[in-house]
Structure formats: structure tokens, C-alpha cells
């Protein structure tokens, strides 16, 4: 079974294999009980469709550099996820972004230059295999089972949400209302040594307020204004995530006790 061409694998994925009835006719899918694949990830890609749900649990920010993308922050420092416990389980009732929920499946282009996408999976997740128990992937006649069709539908809807997210980000770029973000958080026991978090982008509220009334009305009607405010409201959770890290002993400090450089 040849792996799909993969010059650079997406976040979480260690390998990709196309799912097909020839090689996987008698394979079954188990359940992904462990969140180990999330444990060392502090930022998870998010679609604009998810802003309203995600803003209840995570700060929503945008990546820096060209072509920024929305991400949900599970931690404020590289490699720190405050929602995955030492048992590699998510013990809080949180909204899990669709990007993480689709793992280990993904739609991928197998042929360079082709727009056709095939359902693939990461074999390193050990979710699929020749096992006695689990959900069958294919029927006896080689057609996908209801389970496999459900997975395919979920991945297709995720790709469609990705296209809507691109349109949302393109509009933000046209409005020119994104700015480099910086958040300073002070511990009660270190009032003179704030922890500074940079390396992300956020909406500039001043620029947002300065938009013409007609443009704001248009944004309200097409739903973009609601998404922008969901992002802005979610920034209040920066301190909540910081406090989670602090309680878990995961706030990095330098040898002299001062805040260590923080990236997100």
C-alpha cells in the first residue's frame, strides 16, 4: 500500500494512506480514546463556522505572517496544551475544533495537479486495522459502509468550511483591520514582571470602529461582524488559559524567575 505524496504533512499527521476497498476490504475502525496527538499542540486550526462555539472555551487569534489563519489557543506557550491531562484525555467539557475531530482521516490530493481528493488516514493512529471488533469500513460488495460515508461527509463539510474561512480571511485583508497582537498578563506574585505574549494577529478595534457605517451594516448582514466580535470577546480568555497553565505548573520562567519568552 503506497503512501500518498506528502511533501509536508498537516499538523497531527505522521503518514497518509488512501482508504480503499482493495487494501482495506476487511478492515474495521476502532475508537480514538486517547488525545495524545493533541497533547503537545497549543494552537489548533479553526474554521470561521466554529467561532461562536469555540469562543466559549478558547482565545481565537490569527497566525502571523502572510496568509493568516484562525487558530484556537489551548495554551499560550509552544508545546503546552492545558486541556489534555497526563492521562492523555480531555477532561473538560469543551468544544473540540473540527480539525482535531476529523483525525486520523483527511481528504488529500493524491495526484499532483489534480483537483480530485481521496479519503486518507494516518496509520500511525492505530485506529484502523484487521480486528475482530470495530466498525466495518466496507460492505461485502466493496461499497463504503454507513460509517465510512459519514467520515467522508464530515471531511467534505470540513473542506467546505475551509473555503468559507478563506473568504472570511480575504475580506479581513481587504478591510485591513488586522494588527500584530500583544497581550501582557501579570501574576499577583510578580506584579512588576508581566508575561508578554506575541506572535499572533488580532482585529484592531479602533480600525473596526472607523469603518464606514455602510460597511459595518454590510458586515452585520453577511454574518462577518458576529464572527469578528466572537474573536474579540474570546481574547478575554487569554488570562483564563494563563491561569490554567499556572495551576498546572506550565508557565515558563527564566533562571532569575522572570517570565521566559513566550510564543503562540
- Give the chain's residues under pLDDT 70: 1-7, 112-114, 189-191, 253-264
Question: For position 190, what pLDDT does the model report?
Answer: 67
With respect to residue 1, please indicate whether it lies within any of the assigned structural domains: no
With respect to residue 9, please indicate whether it lies within any of the assigned structural domains: no
Rounded to whole angstroms, the Cα distance separating 220 from 229 reads 11
Rounded to whole angstroms, the Cα distance separating 199 from 13 reads 24
Return the beta strands (E) in the chain as ranges. Answer: 17-18, 28-29, 43-45, 60-63, 70-73, 105-108, 118-121, 128-129, 135-136, 178-180, 183-187, 190-198, 200-203, 262-263
Question: For position 262, what pLDDT does the model report?
Answer: 52
Question: For position 6, what pLDDT does the model report?
Answer: 43
- Domain span including residue 153: 17-263
Query: How many Cβ atoms are within 10 Å of 94's Cβ, its own excluded?
Result: 15
Question: For position 260, what pLDDT does the model report?
Answer: 52
Question: For position 193, what pLDDT does the model report?
Answer: 77
Question: For position 24, what pLDDT does the model report?
Answer: 93
Q: Which residue has the cell 454507513?
A: 146
pTM exceeds 0.85: yes
Question: For position 16, what pLDDT does the model report?
Answer: 93
Question: For position 264, what pLDDT does the model report?
Answer: 42
User: What total number of domains does the chain contain?
Assistant: 1
Amino acid at each position: 500500500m503506497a503512501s500518498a505524496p506528502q511533501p509536508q504533512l498537516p499538523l497531527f499527521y505522521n503518514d497518509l494512506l488512501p482508504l480503499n476497498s482493495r487494501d482495506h476490504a476487511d478492515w474495521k475502525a476502532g475508537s480514538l480514546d486517547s488525545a495524545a496527538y493533541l497533547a503537545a499542540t497549543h494552537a489548533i486550526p479553526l474554521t470561521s463556522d466554529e467561532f461562536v462555539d469555540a469562543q466559549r472555551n478558547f482565545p481565537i487569534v490569527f497566525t502571523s505572517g502572510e496568509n493568516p489563519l484562525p487558530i484556537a489557543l489551548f495554551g499560550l506557550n509552544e508545546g503546552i496544551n492545558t486541556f489534555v491531562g497526563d492521562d492523555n484525555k480531555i477532561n473538560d467539557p469543551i468544544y473540540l475544533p473540527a480539525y482535531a475531530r476529523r483525525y486520523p482521516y483527511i481528504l488529500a490530493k493524491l495526484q499532483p495537479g489534480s483537483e480530485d481528493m481521496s479519503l486518507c488516514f494516518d496509520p500511525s493512529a492505530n485506529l484502523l486495522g484487521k480486528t475482530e471488533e470495530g466498525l466495518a469500513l466496507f460492505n461485502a460488495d466493496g461499497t463504503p459502509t454507513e460509517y465510512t460515508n459519514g467520515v467522508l461527509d464530515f471531511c467534505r463539510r470540513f473542506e467546505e468550511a475551509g473555503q468559507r474561512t478563506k473568504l472570511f480571511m480575504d475580506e479581513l485583508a481587504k478591510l485591513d483591520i488586522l494588527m500584530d497582537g500583544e497581550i501582557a498578563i501579570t501574576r499577583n506574585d510578580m506584579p512588576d514582571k508581566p508575561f508578554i505574549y506575541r506572535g499572533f494577529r488580532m482585529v484592531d478595534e479602533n480600525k473596526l470602529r472607523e469603518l464606514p457605517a455602510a460597511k459595518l451594516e454590510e458586515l452585520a448582514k453577511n454574518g462577518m461582524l458576529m464572527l469578528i466580535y466572537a474573536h474579540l470577546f474570546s481574547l478575554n480568555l487569554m488570562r483564563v488559559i494563563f491561569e490554567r497553565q499556572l495551576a498546572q505548573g506550565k508557565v515558563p520562567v527564566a533562571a532569575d524567575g522572570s517570565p521566559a519568552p513566550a510564543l503562540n
